[in-house]
Amino acid sequence: MPEPDIIFSLFPKLRRRFPGFYADSRGEKRLYLNSGAGSLMVDSCLGVINSEGAGLNPMPGQITQPENQTREFQQQVRQLVADFLGAGRPEEISFHFSTTAALFNLAFALRSLFKPGKNLLVTNLDHFANISPWETIGAWQGVEIRRVRLTRDLLLDSSDLLSQLDHDTVLVAITGASNVLGTIVPLTDLVSEIKQRSPALVVVDAVHLAPHAPIDVREIGCDFLAFSGYKIFGPMVGLLYSRPGINEGIVPYRVETNRVEPPYCWEQGMLPNLQLAGLKGALEYLLELGRAVSSGDSLAPARKIFRRAMEAIRHYEQDLSLYFLERFKKIASPRLKLYGIDSPGRITSRTPTFALEIAGLAPSDLKRMFWEKGRIIIADGNHYSAVVVRQMQKTALNRVSLAHYDGPDSLDQFFDCLEHIIKH
Ligand SMILES: Cc1ncc(COP(=O)(O)O)c(C=O)c1O
């Protein structure tokens, strides 16, 4: 773990790397507290698009220099993503339009597993990107679909999950962290229990976890894991990790002439080089951050440096979350409600993502008030999340979601505005 002193002196300076932090693209000042819907882009994302992406030959190849350059570039980006996730080889990473597209693709590829008599599990803590693909293809194929509920305090009910497993469970789709409540799922322990009790493949949606904590696919023991570039300070691109050696029953969409081995079997059509360049820029920024907090060991392998960067981010953001909870508790309004983990003692089980509500005020109205009174962007809506739609049966909630470029000053601005709204 990096020294707390380094972290707390470094982090407030990092926001200079995010041109959108202070103002929007027209130069208008505003405070963006909606990183859960898509983070701000780091400067090196656009930098690498210009310096490397724009000059790439569209087609990779082995004979001419420009085609070779594209092939090597794509391989480098796969390697960076593999290092970010702790995967063994770049071939374990495939590129997609988005996480949702990657998971629909995967569900289609696994369709032969979903036979009548078999079952699969989806959870109420998930985003629908990790529910609808399984329910849609599963229903076509006649597999039984089981839903895992949340506890009364809105944690994933792991006893309910484990009790629904049996020898006919072919797949469990779980999230790494909720994009509404911020709740983190203890993946390593849970996946190990799932694997002891059933032959199920485990698919993890790590979209909300990826910007907030280190991920290690081999430690987790999952079979597939997806996340998105635009949540980790880069552009829109979906990334899918596939554990090597899973071949049985996998038939992806395929153009007749496409290569059959991973990662190429997962990818349809030409790769989006500009997106990959932006992703490279974002990941290189995280490496820089990791080196900055790795005093004396900045030449360590990329995997280790990514891990340090993400540990430092986690540590810094836990402090931000504590500050959020402290200020929240000071507002003595019976109308204001926070959903999810609110105890400082359990701060390690959440990301800085907060779902809240003011009784009697429509979430869309509260969002509008924050904009009109404070030029602050928060979220409203169902966030494509089953916790809102299925478990709470609400049509909308407000959400404030932070990233490591935010600080206590962002929260002071938010809470001053919130207090003003509640008073008036
Ligand atoms: C937890 C979670 N999963 C999946 C997605 C969908 O990702 P994408 O937009 O890349 O399809 C999101 C998007 O907000 C998300 O927050």
At 105 the three-state DSSP class reads helix
Distance 61 CA to ligand 1 centre (A): 32
Give the pLDDT score at 9.
85
* Residue whose CB lies within 8 A of the most ligand 1 atoms, among 122, 179, 387, 401, for a mutation test: 179
Specify the pLDDT at position 276.
98
What's the gap in Å between 383 CA and the centre of ligand 1?
Answer: 9
Q: Which atom of ligand 1 is nearest to the CA of 103?
A: 11
Q: How far is the CA of 39 from the centre of ligand 1 (A)?
A: 12
Look at residue 332 in the predicted model and tell me its pLDDT.
81
Q: Which helix (H) or strand (E) holds 386?
A: helix 386-386
Q: Where are the beta strands (DSSP E) in 207-293?
A: 224-228, 238-242
**Measured in whole angstroms, how far is the alpha carbon of residue 347 from the centre of its chain?**
18
Spatial separation of the C-alpha atoms in residues 267 and 78, rounded to whole Å: 13
Q: What is the pLDDT of residue 25?
A: 86
285 contacts 2 by C-beta, under 8 angstroms: no
Residues 233/90, Cβ–Cβ less than 8 Å: no
- Specify the ligand 1 atom closest to the Cα of 205: 3
pTM score above 0.85: yes
* Probe residue for ligand 1, chosen from 185, 225, 384, 401 as the CB with the greatest number of ligand atoms within 8 Å: 384
- At residue 389's C-alpha, the angle toward residues 388 and 395, to 5°, is 85
SS3 106: helix
Q: What tens-digit pLDDT sequence spans the chain (424 residues)?
A: 566 677 778 888 899 999 999 888 899 999 999 999 999 999 999 999 999 999 999 999 999 999 999 999 999 999 999 999 999 999 999 999 999 999 999 999 999 999 999 999 999 999 999 999 999 999 999 999 999 999 999 999 999 999 999 999 999 999 999 999 999 999 999 999 999 999 999 999 999 999 999 999 999 999 999 999 999 999 999 999 999 998 778 999 999 999 999 999 999 999 999 999 999 999 999 999 999 998 777 778 999 999 999 999 999 999 999 999 999 999 989 999 999 999 999 999 999 999 999 999 999 999 999 999 999 999 999 999 999 999 999 999 999 999 999 999 999 999 999 999 998 8
Report domain 48-281's class.
alpha beta
* Rounded distance from Cα 129 to ligand 1 centre (Å): 6
Provide, for the chain, the percentages of residues in helix, strand and coil under a 3-state DSSP scheme, each rounded to the nearest 5: 45, 15, 40
Whole-angstrom Cα distance, residue 224 to residue 245? 12
Cα 344 to ligand 1 centroid, rounded to whole Å: 27
- Segments in 96-175 forming alpha helices (H): 99-109, 132-141, 158-163
Ligand 1 lining (C-beta closer than 6 Å)? 98-100, 127, 129, 175, 179, 205, 207-208, 228, 238
Separation of CA 320 from chain center: 19
Residues 95, 18, 383, 159: is their CA dihedral positive or negative?
positive
DSSP assignment letter at 148: E
pLDDT score for 4? 66
The 10s digit of each residue's pLDDT in 26-82 is 999 999 999 999 999 999 999 999 999 999 999 999 999 999 999 999 999 999 999
Residue 177 CA: which ligand 1 atom is closest?
Answer: 1
The residue ranges of every structural domain in the chain are: 4-43+302-423, 48-281
**Which of 207, 209, 224, 401 maximizes ligand 1 atoms within 8 Å of its Cβ, making it the mutation to test the pocket?**
207
Among 96, 98, 99, say which to mutate for ligand 1: greatest number of ligand atoms within 8 Å of CB: 99
Q: Report the pLDDT value the prediction gives residue 295, as an integer from 0 to 100.
A: 73
**Topology agreement, domain 4-43+302-423 and domain 48-281:** no
Could you tell me the distance, in angstroms and rounded to a whole number, from the CA of residue 315 to the centre of ligand 1?
A: 24
Q: Please, are residues 99 and 227 in contact by the beta-carbon 8 Å criterion?
A: yes
- State how far the Cα of 40 lies from the Cα of 57, in Å rounded to an integer: 28
Distance (Å) from CA 207 to ligand 1 centroid? 6
Ligand 1 mean position, distance from CA 274 (Å): 20
- DSSP strands (E only) in 108-220: 119-123, 144-148, 169-175, 201-205
Look at the block and give the residue holding tokens 């998930």.
126
Hey, what are 161's tokens? 């999950």
Cα 36 to middle of ligand 1, angstroms = 9
- Residue nearest ligand 1's atom 12 by CA: 207
Neighbours of 159 (CB within 10 A): 9
Q: Name the CATH superfamily for 4-43+302-423.
A: Aspartate Aminotransferase, domain 1 (3.90.1150.10)
Ligand 1 center to 276 CA (angstroms): 18
Give the model confidence (pLDDT) of 138-187 as tens digits: 999 999 999 999 999 999 999 999 999 999 999 999 999 999 999 999 99
